[in-house]
C-alpha cells in the first residue's frame, strides 16, 4: 500500500470510478453556474440511425450548423462520424473550421455560399460551398482556375422557398456545362418550404420542379429532403437526405407523435424560497397576483439563458411549467433576465429547498412543448440556450454498425 504521504500526489481522478468522476465534475462545474445543460450524444446517434434506416438507400447526412442546434458542434460531429455519418452541412466557414478539426475525412458543405475572397479558406478547410446564384458560380470558377482547387461544390436550386438558389431558368441554363463533364459539381440540392405540413400543396409542386431539373444534371447526386421531408415518403429522398432538427429531438412530424428520442435536459438552481400573501403581485409589471398564500421558488435562469420571457404567466394566462421534485409546477409572473419565480405551494413542506435543481427541459417537458410556451419553434429554443449553463455530455462512444472507431465524448465543461 502506498504511504499516506504519497496519496496526496495521486490525482483524485485516479481514485474514483468513472461514475464518481462524472459526478465530481458535474458538482465542480455547477458550483459557479446557474444550471446545467446535459446533451445525450447517444440519443443523437440513435436519431440519426433511425433517419438513416427510414431513408435507405439514400445517404443520410447531418446538419450541424448553429453549434449543432445549440448542442455542441464538435462533440456532435465526433459522435455522428463514429456512428458512420460521412457528410455534414454547416452554415459558415467558421463552423467549417471547427468541424474539420474533428472530421478529417468527411465531406463538408457550407450552406452560406461562396465569396471570392474566401476561396483560400475553402481550400484550407477542404470544404465545399453550396452555390446559390450565378455570381457565386462565376467567382468559384475563377478561383478554381487560378488556384487549381478541385474540391467540388453543390448547386442550390430554388424550387419555391424564394430564399437562396438559382431559379429554374438559371438552373436549366447551366445544364450544358454539367453535361460537358469536369464540372466539379458534387451535389444538386433544393429545400422544401412546408415539409412539416403533410399535405401542403407546395410540397408536390417543389418535388415536381426539383425532379425535373435534377434529372438533367447527369450523374450528379441529388438532395431535397430535410428532417420532415424524410417522412413524406421515398419520392422526396433522392440520393441524400439532410436532417437537422430531428437529430436533436425536435418533432419532424408535428401532425403525429414524435418518432425521435429526446436529447437535451436542462436544469437550473433554486436560489431562494419565499412566501407571499394572497393578493400580492409577483415579478415585473405586477401582472401575476397570488390567489392564496403562496410559496415561491426563485430559480436562477431567465431570458438571458434562453428561457424566453414569453413563457411567463399573468392573472389571465397560465405560462410554462418546470419540474420540481418530480412534480410539475407553474411559472409565476414574468420571466426576467436571470431569474424566474415558480409556484411550489402544492408540494409537501421542505420538498423544494435552496440549492436544489429544477428541470426546465426534460422529464417529460419536451423541446416542442417549451417552444409552444415561448411562441416559437424548437429550432429557436435549442439554438438560444445560453452560455452560462455548465454543459455535460452523455455517451458519444457509439460505434458504426460496420465497426468504426469510438467517438471521443466531450468531458464535462465549465460554464463560459
Residues labelled catalytic: 65, 284
Quote the Cα angle for 203-208-213, to 5°: 125
Continuous segment of H or E residues that includes residue 212: helix 201-214
Residues 6+ positions from 105 with CB-CB distance below 8 Å? none
Of 175, 63, 75, the closest CA to residue 407 belongs to 75
Q: Maximum distance among all alpha carbons in the chain? A: 81
C-alpha cell at 135: 455570381
Are the CB atoms for 262 and 362 separated by under 8 Å? yes
E strands in 6-152 = 35-40, 59-60, 62-63, 87-90, 107-110, 128-131
Q: Are strands 153-156 and 185-189 parallel, antiparallel or unpaired?
A: parallel
**Ordered DSSP codes for 339-398:** -EEEE-TTSPTTSS-TT-EEEEEBTTB-HHHHHHHHTS-HHHHHHT--TTSEEEEE----
Amino acid at each position: 500500500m502506498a504511504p499516506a504521504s504519497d496519496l496526496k500526489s495521486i490525482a483524485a481522478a485516479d481514485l474514483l470510478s468513472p461514475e464518481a468522476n462524472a459526478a465530481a465534475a458535474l458538482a465542480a462545474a455547477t458550483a459557479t453556474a446557474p444550471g446545467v445543460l446535459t446533451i445525450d450524444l447517444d440519443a443523437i446517434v440513435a436519431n440519426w440511425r433511425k433517419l438513416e434506416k427510414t431513408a435507405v438507400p439514400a445517404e443520410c447526412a447531418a446538419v450541424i450548423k448553429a453549434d449543432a442546434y445549440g448542442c455542441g458542434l464538435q462533440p456532435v460531429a465526433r459522435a455522428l462520424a463514429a456512428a458512420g455519418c460521412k457528410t455534414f452541412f454547416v452554415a459558415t466557414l467558421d463552423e467549417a473550421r471547427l468541424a474539420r478539426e474533428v472530421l478529417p475525412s468527411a465531406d463538408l458543405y457550407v450552406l452560406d455560399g461562396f465569396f471570392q475572397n474566401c476561396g483560400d479558406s475553402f481550400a484550407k478547410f477542404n470544404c465545399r460551398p453550396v452555390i446559390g446564384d450565378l455570381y457565386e458560380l462565376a467567382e468559384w470558377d475563377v478561383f478554381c482556375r487560378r488556384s487549381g482547387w478541385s474540391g467540388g461544390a453543390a448547386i442550390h436550386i430554388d424550387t419555391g422557398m424564394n430564399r437562396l438558389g438559382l431559379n429554374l431558368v438559371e438552373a436549366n441554363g447551366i445544364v450544358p456545362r454539367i453535361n460537358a463533364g469536369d464540372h466539379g459539381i458534387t451535389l444538386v440540392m433544393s429545400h422544401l418550404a412546408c415539409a412539416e405540413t403533410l399535405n401542403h400543396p407546395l410540397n408536390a409542386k417543389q418535388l415536381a420542379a426539383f425532379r425535373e431539373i435534377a434529372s438533367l444534371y447527369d450523374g450528379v447526386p441529388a438532395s431535397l429532403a430535410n428532417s420532415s421531408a424524410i417522412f413524406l415518403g421515398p419520392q422526396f429522398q433522392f440520393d441524400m437526405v439532410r436532417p437537422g432538427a430531428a437529430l436533436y429531438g425536435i418533432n419532424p412530424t408535428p401532425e403525429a407523435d414524435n418518432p425521435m428520442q429526446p436529447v437535451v435536459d436542462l436544469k437550473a438552481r433554486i436560489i431562494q424560497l419565499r412566501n407571499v400573501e394572497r393578493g400580492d403581485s409577483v415579478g415585473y409589471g405586477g401582472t401575476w397576483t397570488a390567489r392564496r398564500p403562496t410559496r415561491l421558488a426563485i430559480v436562477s435562469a431567465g431570458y438571458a439563458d434562453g428561457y424566453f420571457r414569453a413563457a411567463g404567466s399573468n392573472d389571465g394566462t397560465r405560462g410554462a411549467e418546470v419540474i420540481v421534485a418530480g412534480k410539475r409546477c407553474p411559472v409565476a409572473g414574468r420571466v426576467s433576465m436571470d431569474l424566474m419565480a415558480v409556484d411550489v405551494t402544492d408540494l409537501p413542506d421542505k420538498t423544494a429547498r435552496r440549492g436544489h435543481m429544477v428541470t426546465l427541459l426534460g422529464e417529460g417537458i419536451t423541446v416542442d412543448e417549451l417552444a409552444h410556451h415561448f411562441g416559437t419553434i424548437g429550432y429557436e429554443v435549442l439554438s438560444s440556450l445560453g452560455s452560462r449553463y455548465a454543459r455535460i455530455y452523455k455517451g458519444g462512444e457509439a460505434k458504426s454498425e460496420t465497426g468504426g472507431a469510438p467517438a471521443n465524448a466531450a468531458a464535462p465543461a465549465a460554464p463560459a
